Structure 1
Amino acid sequence: FFVCMSQFRDESGMCMLHAIRHYDGEKMTWPLTKRNLDTFRQTTVFEVFRLQDEQGNFVADHVLRAALEEDEE
Protein backbone atom coordinates (compact mmCIF):
# COMPACT_ATOMS: atom_id res chain seq x y z
CA PHE A 1 0.00 0.00 0.00
CA PHE A 2 2.67 2.52 0.97
CA VAL A 3 4.61 1.74 -2.20
CA CYS A 4 1.55 2.70 -4.20
CA MET A 5 1.15 5.91 -2.22
CA SER A 6 4.72 7.03 -2.90
CA GLN A 7 4.76 5.96 -6.56
CA PHE A 8 1.32 7.18 -7.54
CA ARG A 9 0.65 10.17 -5.29
CA ASP A 10 -1.93 11.54 -7.72
CA GLU A 11 -3.71 8.18 -7.45
CA SER A 12 -3.74 8.14 -3.64
CA GLY A 13 -7.53 8.39 -3.39
CA MET A 14 -8.02 5.44 -5.71
CA CYS A 15 -5.34 3.49 -3.78
CA MET A 16 -7.27 4.12 -0.55
CA LEU A 17 -10.56 2.97 -2.10
CA HIS A 18 -8.84 -0.16 -3.40
CA ALA A 19 -7.35 -0.90 0.03
CA ILE A 20 -10.66 -0.34 1.84
CA ARG A 21 -12.56 -2.52 -0.58
CA HIS A 22 -10.08 -5.39 -0.89
CA TYR A 23 -8.59 -5.75 2.61
CA ASP A 24 -10.18 -8.63 4.50
CA GLY A 25 -8.69 -7.83 7.91
CA GLU A 26 -5.56 -9.90 7.39
CA LYS A 27 -4.38 -9.35 3.84
CA MET A 28 -5.29 -7.78 0.52
CA THR A 29 -7.60 -10.09 -1.39
CA TRP A 30 -6.63 -8.37 -4.65
CA PRO A 31 -3.00 -7.12 -4.74
CA LEU A 32 -2.44 -3.41 -5.25
CA THR A 33 -0.46 -3.16 -8.49
CA LYS A 34 -0.52 -0.54 -11.25
CA ARG A 35 -2.45 -2.90 -13.54
CA ASN A 36 -4.96 -3.84 -10.83
CA LEU A 37 -5.36 -0.16 -9.93
CA ASP A 38 -6.19 0.67 -13.56
CA THR A 39 -8.77 -2.13 -13.65
CA PHE A 40 -10.19 -1.06 -10.28
CA ARG A 41 -10.51 2.55 -11.50
CA GLN A 42 -12.45 1.45 -14.58
CA THR A 43 -14.71 -0.79 -12.50
CA THR A 44 -15.35 1.99 -9.99
CA VAL A 45 -16.25 4.49 -12.71
CA PHE A 46 -18.61 1.94 -14.26
CA GLU A 47 -20.28 1.36 -10.88
CA VAL A 48 -20.71 5.10 -10.28
CA PHE A 49 -22.41 5.60 -13.64
CA ARG A 50 -24.90 2.80 -13.03
CA LEU A 51 -25.89 3.83 -9.51
CA GLN A 52 -29.32 5.17 -10.40
CA ASP A 53 -32.05 3.28 -12.26
CA GLU A 54 -29.48 1.16 -14.09
CA GLN A 55 -29.77 3.70 -16.91
CA GLY A 56 -26.35 5.28 -16.53
CA ASN A 57 -27.72 8.42 -14.95
CA PHE A 58 -24.97 10.14 -13.04
CA VAL A 59 -26.11 10.62 -9.44
CA ALA A 60 -23.72 13.53 -8.89
CA ASP A 61 -25.82 15.70 -11.23
CA HIS A 62 -28.72 15.51 -8.79
CA VAL A 63 -26.45 16.08 -5.82
CA LEU A 64 -24.85 19.13 -7.44
CA ARG A 65 -28.22 20.55 -8.41
CA ALA A 66 -29.48 20.21 -4.82
CA ALA A 67 -26.27 21.62 -3.37
CA LEU A 68 -26.26 24.66 -5.66
CA GLU A 69 -29.90 25.61 -5.16
CA GLU A 70 -30.35 28.72 -3.06
CA ASP A 71 -32.28 28.52 0.18
CA GLU A 72 -35.83 29.70 -0.25
CA GLU A 73 -35.98 31.06 3.29
Structure 2
Amino acid sequence: LHLADIRRWKIAEIVLNGPTHGIDIAKGDGGGFEPVPGQWVRSFASPRDYLWPIPQSERDLNPNLEQNPGY
Protein backbone atom coordinates (compact mmCIF):
# COMPACT_ATOMS: atom_id res chain seq x y z
CA LEU A 1 0.00 0.00 0.00
CA HIS A 2 1.02 3.58 -0.54
CA LEU A 3 1.88 5.63 2.55
CA ALA A 4 -0.73 8.29 1.70
CA ASP A 5 -3.44 5.60 1.47
CA ILE A 6 -2.41 4.10 4.80
CA ARG A 7 -2.65 7.47 6.47
CA ARG A 8 -5.92 8.43 4.75
CA TRP A 9 -7.58 5.14 5.72
CA LYS A 10 -6.38 5.61 9.33
CA ILE A 11 -4.78 2.13 9.48
CA ALA A 12 -1.20 3.30 10.04
CA GLU A 13 -1.05 2.25 13.71
CA ILE A 14 -1.94 -1.28 12.59
CA VAL A 15 0.19 -1.52 9.45
CA LEU A 16 3.25 0.57 10.35
CA ASN A 17 4.00 -0.64 13.89
CA GLY A 18 6.35 -3.57 14.41
CA PRO A 19 9.65 -4.93 13.19
CA THR A 20 10.94 -4.27 9.70
CA HIS A 21 11.03 -7.25 7.36
CA GLY A 22 14.49 -6.86 5.86
CA ILE A 23 15.53 -7.65 2.30
CA ASP A 24 16.88 -10.46 0.15
CA ILE A 25 20.43 -9.98 -1.11
CA ALA A 26 21.83 -11.86 -4.10
CA LYS A 27 24.57 -14.31 -3.14
CA GLY A 28 27.93 -13.57 -4.72
CA ASP A 29 28.27 -17.08 -6.12
CA GLY A 30 25.11 -16.76 -8.23
CA GLY A 31 23.28 -19.23 -6.00
CA GLY A 32 20.09 -17.29 -5.41
CA PHE A 33 19.25 -14.92 -2.60
CA GLU A 34 20.03 -14.75 1.09
CA PRO A 35 17.52 -13.13 3.46
CA VAL A 36 18.77 -10.35 5.72
CA PRO A 37 16.43 -9.71 8.66
CA GLY A 38 15.26 -6.21 9.49
CA GLN A 39 17.12 -4.44 12.26
CA TRP A 40 14.63 -1.76 13.30
CA VAL A 41 11.25 -1.59 14.95
CA ARG A 42 8.87 0.93 13.42
CA SER A 43 6.54 2.91 15.64
CA PHE A 44 3.60 5.05 14.62
CA ALA A 45 2.16 7.26 17.36
CA SER A 46 -1.52 7.91 16.71
CA PRO A 47 -2.94 10.58 16.49
CA ARG A 48 0.24 12.69 16.36
CA ASP A 49 1.84 10.96 13.37
CA TYR A 50 -1.21 11.44 11.16
CA LEU A 51 -0.28 15.13 10.99
CA TRP A 52 2.91 16.73 9.68
CA PRO A 53 4.75 19.44 11.60
CA ILE A 54 4.24 22.94 10.21
CA PRO A 55 7.65 24.47 9.37
CA GLN A 56 8.65 27.45 11.48
CA SER A 57 9.24 29.49 8.31
CA GLU A 58 5.54 29.07 7.39
CA ARG A 59 4.45 29.94 10.91
CA ASP A 60 6.61 33.08 10.74
CA LEU A 61 4.77 34.15 7.57
CA ASN A 62 1.36 33.61 9.16
CA PRO A 63 1.19 34.22 12.92
CA ASN A 64 -2.34 32.73 13.00
CA LEU A 65 -0.96 29.26 12.26
CA GLU A 66 -0.54 27.03 15.28
CA GLN A 67 1.79 24.05 15.38
CA ASN A 68 0.12 20.66 15.11
CA PRO A 69 -0.23 18.86 18.46
CA GLY A 70 2.81 16.85 19.50
CA TYR A 71 5.39 18.87 17.55
Higher-strand-fraction structure: 2
Q: Normalising by structure 1, what TM-score? A: 0.23
TM-score (norm 2): 0.23
Q: Which has the higher contact order (CA 8 A, sep 6+)?
A: 2
Q: Which structure's residues are more often helix, by fraction? A: 1
